[in-house]
Amino acid sequence: MTSVTVRVPAKVNVQLAVGAARPDGFHDLANVFLAVGLYDEVTVEPADSLRLTCTGPGSDQVPLDRTNLAARAAIALAGRHGLGDPKVRIHIAKDIPVAGGMAGGSADAAGALVACDALWGTGASREELLDICAELGSDVPFSLVGGAALGTGRGEKLELLDVGGQFWWVFAAADGGLSTPAVYREFDRLSPSAPEPVASPALLEALRTGDATALAATVTNDLQPAALSLFPALKATLDAGTTAGALAALVSGSGPTTAFLAADEAGARRIADSLAASGTCRSVRVASSPAPGATLL
Out of 60, 139, 188, 239, pick the active-site residue.
Answer: 139
Our measurement of the distance from residue 145's CA atom to the centroid of its chain's CA atoms, rounded to an integer in Å, reads 12
The DSSP bridge partners found for residue 122 are none
d(CA 291, CA 73): 22
Instruction: Say whether 11 is catalytic.
Output: yes
Out of 11, 28, 40, 117, pick the active-site residue.
Answer: 11
Scored b (16 or more CB within 10 A) or e, 212-233 reads bebbbebbbbbbbebbbebbee
Residue 194 near residue 17, CB atoms below 8 Å? no
Instruction: Say whether 139 is catalytic.
Output: yes
Task: Report helix, strand or coil for 41.
Answer: strand
Our measurement of the distance from residue 120's CA atom to the centroid of its chain's CA atoms, rounded to an integer in Å, reads 27
Our measurement of the distance from residue 289's CA atom to the centroid of its chain's CA atoms, rounded to an integer in Å, reads 13
Our measurement of the distance from residue 269's CA atom to the centroid of its chain's CA atoms, rounded to an integer in Å, reads 22
d(CA 239, CA 246): 10
Q: What is the C-alpha R_g of the chain? A: 19
d(CA 91, CA 101): 21
The alpha carbon torsion through 194, 184, 66, 70 (nearest 10 deg) reads 70
d(CA 138, CA 204): 21
Active site residues: 11, 139
